[in-house]
Structure 1
């Protein structure tokens, strides 16, 4: 199951698919009630594109609760810019705290541009890396998720 920091609630989860090549896993979290909804995946991320990072670094609470349509990307906990865009890797100039791996990266249109997975330790959290959205799309298609 999945337990968020500061909560005793255990959300049941089911592993749907994995991609060892880009270190991604797709989970189905079995919850009742409202959950955030993602508008879609970005086609590409380009050098110079602004991005927003949302998630739960170090177990801190996020404001990504309630109606996602009203919350939007404004609830992000960090912003940055894509400084490198390769087919298998996005490099960001932005802040990604330890524990942010798995956090979605949103583009200016509110689409998922990637998923954070690490950073350059020497940068103090200012240079972070993300798996591009196309790999997420491939994993979703492989699992039969639309």
Structure 2
């Protein structure tokens, strides 16, 4: 292989690595992070519902603080805390009883965990492709792989 074709191959691999693989990995990790945030929100909602159910009196109301945005809170009084509006996706909310909401949350968190696992697998595949391209670049440029230092010499 002549020097020019070798240099063009190196440039081709480097551009593929930097423009495609690293971009794909970043996108996958961002999607996974969003799903982790959503999973956390549903877990917090589940804990809140369980606390409400524990303290629920059929004739009692619930006093709480509502975040209006930018950490600005207002007091709220909920006259009937036996139902709750739950975000079901795509901007839609559904009025559910507390028990229905717990069932929905259990199913939704299961789906989210499956998606997270799938994205983690995809991220692993992209990382493996990155390693393969890096190894190919090392081979093309005839660079020795980094070796770990031998500590046996220090002990002798």
Task: Give TM-score scaled by structure 2 length.
Answer: 0.27
Structure showing greater radius of gyration is: 2
By percentage of residues, which structure has more helix? Answer: 2
Bigger relative contact order, structure 1 or 2 (CA pairs below 8 A, ≥6 apart): 2
| More strand by percentage | 1
Q: TM-score, normalised by structure 1?
A: 0.29
